[in-house]
Amino acid sequence: MKRLIVDFSYSLNASKTYQKTKHFFYNLLENDTFQYKKYFDLFMITLIFMSVAILIREVKSHVSDYLLYFNNYIISIIFLTEYLLRLWVNSSITEIIIKRSEYDAMLNTKFNLSIALLDILKVKIRYIVSARAIIDLLAIIPFFHQLRLLRIFILFRVFKLFRYARSFQTFTSVLATKKFEFITLLMFSGIVIFVSSVLIYVMEANNPDSPIDTLYEAVYWSIVTISTVGYGDITPVTDAGRFVAMLVIIAGIAVLAFTTSIVVSAFTEKLDEIKETKIVDDVSKLKQFYLICGYENVAEEVAKKLLSHSNVIVLDEDVKRIENAKKDGLIALNYDPGSVESYKKLRIDIDTQVKAILCLRESDVENVYTALTVRSINKDVFILSILMNDIHRNKLNFAGVNEILYAKELVGMIAKEFVGKPVAFEVIHALRSDYSNIDIEEIVVNERMLESFYCVAELHNSKYRVVLLGIYKQKNKRFLFNPIDTTLLEQGDYLLVIGNSMFIREFNKYLHQKISQ
C-alpha cells in the first residue's frame, strides 16, 4: 500500500500532463504576469457583482427562482471549484510524499506514511487558515445554508474582490507598512473610548433627562463623538457629562489628524516604489525595445535618435543620470545593468523583447562588465558597446560584444574621408542626416512582394522617382550595385533606394499594394 502511494506520487510528479495542468491553474490563479489571468479575474469580479446585485434586489422584492438558483448554486459551485483549485495548486502533495520517502530512504528507515500525511495536513491547514482562504470559504457558504442571516455571507464575496483587483492589494500593502502607527492609534482611541463611555455612563445613566441609559448607548455615543461625526441623537445633559464630551471631542481631533497623516505619509513614502512597480509592469509588457545601459553623453544622443521609431529603455545605477533620462522623456529604471538580478527583477525576456543591448557608459570597465553579465544570461542578443581606450578592445571582444565603436578611431576615419574623398563624404552625410529631404532606405523583399515582382525590371522605380542603388543579397551577404534588369529578387533581400522620403514611402506602398490591383 505504502509502496503503491510512493510509486504513484513519483509517476504523478513526473507526468507532463499533470504538471502542465497544475502549472496552468497556478498561473491562472496566482501569477499576475500570466496573460489570461486578467480575464479570469474579470469573470470572477462580474460574478461577485451579480451576486451582490441579486442580494440587494431580494431585500424588497421578489427575485425569480432561476436567479436565486443561479446565485445559490452555480456561482457557489464556481467559487467552490476555485477554492479547491487554490488549495490544490498551493502546495504539492506528491512532492511532500516523495521528499519524505527519500528522507526515510536516506536514513535507512521504513517509509512512514503517517508523518508524510501529517506534513501534508500541516501545509494545507496553513493555507486554509490564511485570511484570504477564510474569506474564500465564507463566500461559498450561501450555497450550504438557506438561512436568511447567512445570506449576509454573500457580502464576503465582495471581500473576494481584494483578490482580483491589484490596486486593493497595493493599498493594503502600503498601509501594512504603518502597522506600528496604526496599532498605537487603535490603542489610544480604544482607551479613550473605553474611559469616556464608562465615565459618561457613570455620570448620565442615573439622570432621568439623559438619553444615555445603557453602557451600549454610552459606547455608541463615544465612538460617534471621537470620530468627529457627532450625530447629535444622543447628547449629554449633565455638566460632568458635557465635560467628558469636551475631552472626547479634543481627543477626536487628535485621532482624526493622526489617522490622516499616517495614511498620507505611508503613501508618500511608497509612492516611488508604486510608480516603479508600474513601470516594471509596463516594461515587461513591451514587445520590442532597445536597452541602453548607462546614460551619458553618447547615450543621450542615441536615445534621441532611436526614440522616433522604437521603444527605448534606460538602465543605470546612478540616480542622477536616471533623473536626466526621465527628463528626456525616456523610460528609465534605476537598476544596475551589470547585475543578473536586475534583469530578473525587471522580468525582461532578452530573447523576445530586446532588439539590441547598447553599452554606452563612458567607462570600458563598466561596459565590459555589463556585456559579460548580459552574455551570461543570453548567448544570442546583439550587443553594441562603445570603447574609450583602444587597449581594452580585446576585453570587449572577449566579453562577447558584437559591435564595438571607438570614437577616436571614427574621428580618424572621418578625417581621412574629409581629406581623401570629400565628395563621397558629403553625399553620404547628406543622405544620412535628417535635415535634407533626400533619404536612403532599405526595403526588405517579402513573400507578398515576390508575388507581383520577381525581377528588377518590374520594379519601375524611376516612375516613382527613386534611385535603386542596389540589392543586398541576404543569401551570400553581398551587395549588388546597379543590378541589371534580369536580376531575380529573393525573399530576404534588401532593396537600397535613394530618393525623396515621400517618394520612397509611395514606392514602398506600391510594392506592397500591387497584388490587390
- Interface ranges with another protein (CB under 8 A): 290, 297-298, 300-302, 304-306, 309, 355-356, 358, 360, 384, 386, 389-390, 403, 405, 407-428, 431-433, 438, 440-442, 462, 465-467, 469-470, 472, 479, 481-482, 485, 494, 496, 498-500, 503
Question: Hey, how many other C-beta atoms are within 10 angstroms of the C-beta on 82?
Answer: 21
Q: Smaller CB distance to another protein: residue 141 or 358? A: 358
Q: Least Å distance between CB 400 and another protein?
A: 17
Q: Least Å distance between CB 358 and another protein?
A: 7
Please check whether residue 479 is in contact with residue 470, taking contact to mean a CB–CB distance below 8 angstroms: yes
Q: What's the rounded Cα separation, in Å, for the pair 140 and 44?
A: 13
Q: Smaller CB distance to another protein: residue 347 or 416? A: 416
- CA nearest neighbour of 383 among 473, 451, 290, 306: 290
Please check whether residue 137 is in contact with residue 163, taking contact to mean a CB–CB distance below 8 angstroms: no
One-letter amino acid for residue 332 of the chain: A
Q: What's the rounded Cα separation, in Å, for the pair 408 and 388?
A: 8
Q: Which three cell numbers stand for residue 486?
A: 534580369
Q: Smaller CB distance to another protein: residue 346 or 388? A: 388
Q: Least Å distance between CB 9 and another protein?
A: 52
Buried b (16+ CB within 10 A) or exposed e, 131-164: eebebbbbbbbbbeeeeeeebebbebbebbbebb
Q: Alpha carbon 505 to chain centroid distance?
A: 37
Q: Least Å distance between CB 512 and another protein?
A: 18
Q: Smaller CB distance to another protein: residue 204 or 493? A: 493
Strand boundaries in 219-293, DSSP class E: 289-293
Backbone angles phi, psi at 354, to 5 degrees: -95, 125
Q: Least Å distance between CB 443 and another protein?
A: 10
Q: Smaller CB distance to another protein: residue 190 or 420? A: 420
Please check whether residue 504 is in contact with residue 439, taking contact to mean a CB–CB distance below 8 angstroms: yes
Q: Least Å distance between CB 411 and another protein?
A: 5
Q: Smaller CB distance to another protein: residue 160 or 473? A: 473
Q: Least Å distance between CB 266 and another protein?
A: 43
Q: Smaller CB distance to another protein: residue 98 or 356? A: 356
Please check whether residue 139 is in contact with residue 156, taking contact to mean a CB–CB distance below 8 angstroms: yes
Entry field: residues in the chain: 517
Q: Smaller CB distance to another protein: residue 109 or 352? A: 352
Please check whether residue 32 is in contact with residue 113, taking contact to mean a CB–CB distance below 8 angstroms: no
Q: Which three cell numbers stand for residue 381?
A: 542578443
Q: Smaller CB distance to another protein: residue 262 or 356? A: 356
Please check whether residue 62 is in contact with residue 119, taking contact to mean a CB–CB distance below 8 angstroms: no
Q: Which three cell numbers stand for residue 425?
A: 563624404
Q: Least Å distance between CB 417 and another protein?
A: 6
Q: Least Å distance between CB 359 and another protein?
A: 11
Q: Least Å distance between CB 416 and another protein?
A: 4
Q: Which three cell numbers stand for residue 36?
A: 489570461
Place of cell 480575464: 39
Angle at 365 between CA 359 and CA 367, to 5 degrees: 10
Q: Smaller CB distance to another protein: residue 55 or 384? A: 384
